[in-house]
A and B are shown apart, each in its own frame.
Chain A
């Protein structure tokens, strides 16, 4: 594709349609009226390369790579401030989640984004036993960049951990024994099945 033809595809509906079909609540994107209240309401607003208002416009402008490869959606803290303030009642939080998830599944999300990586660790953690193993979660997070960096981070966070241990709010034995649902295998197959159905619906199978 030449640069020129790439330009021509801008401001067409192709990417919008893709988002509508595959992204959670994506059919709302076209309803944005560009007031910018969401961007101004986001607690992490200044850290977004493209605040939600822009993301919506970029989708409408057909900027597929820029949107799906953006770090922006990964800045969402799920505070829902944008949702309650949006005069058009767009479920902005969910759309941001949906876009991040979609980008992640397509392998277009930024590889090193810490929230993307934490989210995966979190999911794997709960998917295993059905309930969160908080110690495993923290350790996996700290050691996700390798052993050396992990020790450093874990040491930095040691104060927090000690406090939690002392107040009996962290289980030191959870590494070896963590209580989850009664039948983890059944739970795992439940999630697997759910993913299969969803992939089928969204044409992401295979």
Chain B
């Protein structure tokens, strides 16, 4: 298969020593095996995330994303923009849609970019895609299986799709209420997917994990509990916010609810990297606070 190139929007959490740095490690390892080349958008900025709305308002948010789109169109012309973070993908895609729908907003955005002295030209013609879309649509399940060296046989995964990879845009051909691509990916690399995982698309609280910790942790507790109830040994997710929220508060939840959660929360890219013969380090497994022991064992074989 010929090498595939994409304009890559990694996002803030993916940076070195940031909350999803291990996600990024595994993404790069995975892409290498799949012969995917990621060309980072030079000097990209934050997407403003969802929570940016309150102070940022409408136009500043769109301007931030428009800047990234314009930079991509300038430096990585002709390449689809690919994001690994749900919020980055959603933010950029939403802006692209909104500017496409409103001439006024597009004109205002262009005006702002121009007047701020940015030497960029916004065309807003670039498809904005999530990494899972690239895997499913451009590589395909057969293609995903191709570089496999090891099977993840014997591990039960609760595929936690969460919100923003799933709504409002989602992945073509999947339902909002029960998307199945994550389960199919798990099965493709030999793992066992809990296909009727009850909390598959339940919200973890997102940014409100910071501002409303009790309410969010109640959500998170249910998400983990359902995974245990249905026999999962680890959770797998495509979203860095989901990953962090579900992973890092387990001790606090244990303290508050008297639970004994110790549930590893992994990324799909970590699963694929291990299946492709990558080491635990290459798969970023050393970045998991709750260590995914069974996955590490397979990686070390």
User: How far, in whole Å, are A79 and B216 apart by their CA atoms in the complex?
Assistant: 12
Interface of A is mostly: helix
Q: A78-B206, A80-B168 are in contact. Are A122 and B49 (CB under 8 A)?
A: yes
Q: Does B249 contact A (CB under 8 A)?
A: yes
Q: Does A134 contact B (CB under 8 A)?
A: yes
A134 to chain B: which residues have CB within 8 Å? 12-13, 18-19
A114 to chain B: which residues have CB within 8 Å? 211-212
B167 & A84 in contact (Cβ 8 Å cutoff): yes
Partner of B46, one of A44, A81, A131, A171: A131
Query: Chain B nearest CB: distance from A174 CB in Å?
Result: 8
A197 & B59 in contact (Cβ 8 Å cutoff): yes
User: How far, in whole Å, are A148 and B165 apart by their CA atoms in the complex?
Assistant: 39
A77 & B206 in contact (Cβ 8 Å cutoff): yes
B54 & A115 in contact (Cβ 8 Å cutoff): yes
Interface segment among A11-19, A28-36, A51-59, A162-170: the answer is A162-170
B56 & A123 in contact (Cβ 8 Å cutoff): yes
B19 to chain A: which residues have CB within 8 Å? 134, 164, 169-170
B167 & A44 in contact (Cβ 8 Å cutoff): no
Q: A79-B167, A159-B252, A160-B248 are in contact. Are A168 and B21 (CB under 8 A)?
A: yes
Q: Does B106 contact A (CB under 8 A)?
A: no
Instruction: Name B's A-contacting residues (CB within 8 A).
Output: 12-13, 15-22, 43-46, 48-60, 62-64, 67, 104, 108-109, 111-113, 115-118, 163-164, 167-168, 170, 176, 201-203, 205-208, 210-212, 215-216, 219, 248-249, 251-252, 286-289
B17 & A169 in contact (Cβ 8 Å cutoff): yes
A77 to chain B: which residues have CB within 8 Å? 163, 203, 205-208, 216
User: How far, in whole Å, are A189 and B57 apart by their CA atoms in the complex?
Assistant: 16
Q: A24-B58, A79-B163, A81-B163 are in contact. Are A190 and B18 (CB under 8 A)?
A: no
Q: A80-B163, A84-B176, A191-B64 are in contact. Are A43 and B203 (CB under 8 A)?
A: yes
User: How far, in whole Å, are A85 and B167 apart by their CA atoms in the complex?
Assistant: 10
Query: Chain A nearest CB: distance from B198 CB in Å?
Result: 14
B201 to chain A: which residues have CB within 8 Å? 81
B203 & A104 in contact (Cβ 8 Å cutoff): no
Chain A residue with the shortest CB-CB distance to B117: A186
Pull 29 A–B residue pairs with CB atoms less than 8 Å apart, ordered by A: A24-B57, A43-B202, A43-B219, A44-B205, A75-B208, A77-B163, A77-B203, A80-B168, A81-B203, A97-B54, A101-B53, A101-B55, A104-B54, A118-B207, A118-B211, A119-B207, A119-B211, A122-B207, A123-B55, A126-B12, A126-B46, A132-B18, A134-B19, A159-B252, A167-B286, A169-B17, A197-B108, A197-B112, A198-B60
A170 to chain B: which residues have CB within 8 Å? 17-19
B176 & A190 in contact (Cβ 8 Å cutoff): no
B249 & A160 in contact (Cβ 8 Å cutoff): yes
A151 to chain B: which residues have CB within 8 Å? none
B116 to chain A: which residues have CB within 8 Å? 186, 189-190, 193
Partner of A191, one of B51, B58, B63, B176: B63
User: How far, in whole Å, are A74 and B53 apart by their CA atoms in the complex?
Assistant: 11
A167 & B167 in contact (Cβ 8 Å cutoff): no
B252 & A160 in contact (Cβ 8 Å cutoff): yes
Chain A residue with the shortest CB-CB distance to B290: A163
User: How far, in whole Å, are A58 and B53 apart by their CA atoms in the complex?
Assistant: 22
Query: Chain B nearest CB: distance from A21 CB in Å?
Result: 13
Beyond the given pairs A115-B207, A169-B17, A195-B57, 13 more chain A to chain B contacts, judged by CB atoms under 8 angstroms and listed by A's residue number, are A44-B205, A81-B167, A115-B54, A120-B54, A122-B51, A122-B207, A126-B48, A167-B289, A168-B22, A169-B289, A170-B19, A198-B60, A201-B108
Partner of A122, one of B45, B52, B104, B109: B52
B13 & A132 in contact (Cβ 8 Å cutoff): yes
B211 to chain A: which residues have CB within 8 Å? 114-115, 117-119, 141
